[in-house]
């Protein structure tokens, strides 16, 4: 059973490490894209030396829906996502990078799919309209190789075009292993 948009909220988890130069554009684009939606942005910062967390906190004062979780040392992407999920208040959790390679403008489309009842929605580079900018041949080859390997080793993943995408959303209970 799907719920209407006014019955849920979105938590966007953004793991960061030295992303200060991207924070203003990222948060402004998220805010502009999701205006009218109930959402929060959780910046999970791994002790960036460039002031990423401080800058995100300044935006939190401006937008009132930005939380900053500061972690001592560089603890890694996977644990940043898990730590972000632990403080997320939304019914739906999205994960995206701060490097602006994941366009926030895709979030409404992803939310539409979640609203249709999909458990997990993955933004793929390998579908019509997808793609990557500024990737060299080797990085493209490694990415396609990783996707192919996942499909070979885990046949159930073949329904997902981009198994290594870091831009996805799901219901919080499912993503925390509770559903």
| Residue 91 counted as domain residue | yes
In-domain check, residue 144:
no
When the pLDDT of each residue in the chain is averaged and rounded to a whole number, the result is 80
Are residues 18 and 42 in contact, defined by beta-carbon separation less than 8 angstroms? no
Residue with tokens 């309209």, as numbered in its chain: 129
Report if residue 27 sits inside a domain.
Answer: yes
pTM tops 0.85? no
Report the C-alpha gap between 91 and 79 in whole angstroms. Answer: 20
pLDDT-above-70 percentage for the chain:
70
Residue 104 within any structural domain of the chain: yes
The answer as to whether 59 is a domain residue is yes
Mean pLDDT on 163-170: 69
User: What's the domain count of the chain?
Assistant: 1
Q: Examine residue 143 and state whether it is found in any structural domain, yes or no.
A: no
> Is residue 40 a part of any domain in this protein?
yes
Report long-range pairs for 113-118 (Cβ below 8 Å, ≥24 apart).
114/169, 114/170, 114/171, 115/2, 115/3, 115/4, 115/5, 116/2, 117/1, 117/2
Domain span at 36: 5-124+163-172
CATH assignment of the domain containing 50: 3.90.550.10
């Amino acid at each position: 059973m799907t719920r209407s948009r006014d019955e849920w909220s979105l938590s966007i988890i953004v793991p960061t490490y030295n992303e200060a130069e991207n924070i203003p554009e990222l948060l402004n684009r998220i805010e502009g894209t999701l205006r009218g939606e109930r959402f929060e942005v959780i910046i999970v910062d791994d002790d960036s030396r460039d002031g990423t967390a401080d800058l995100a906190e300044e935006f939190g004062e401006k937008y009132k829906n930005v939380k900053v979780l500061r972690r001592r040392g560089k603890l890694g992407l996977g644990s940043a996502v898990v730590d972000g999920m632990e403080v997320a208040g939304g019914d739906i959790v999205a994960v995206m990078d701060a490097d602006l390679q994941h366009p926030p403008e895709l979030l409404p489309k992803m939310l539409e799919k979640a609203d249709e009842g999909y458990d997990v929605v993955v933004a793929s580079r390998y579908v019509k309209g997808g793609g990557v900018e500024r990737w060299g041949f080797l990085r493209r080859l490694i990415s396609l190789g990783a996707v192919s390997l996942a499909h070979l080793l885990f046949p159930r993943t073949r329904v997902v075009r981009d198994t290594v995408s870091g831009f996805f959303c799901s219901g919080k209970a499912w993503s925390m292993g509770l559903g």
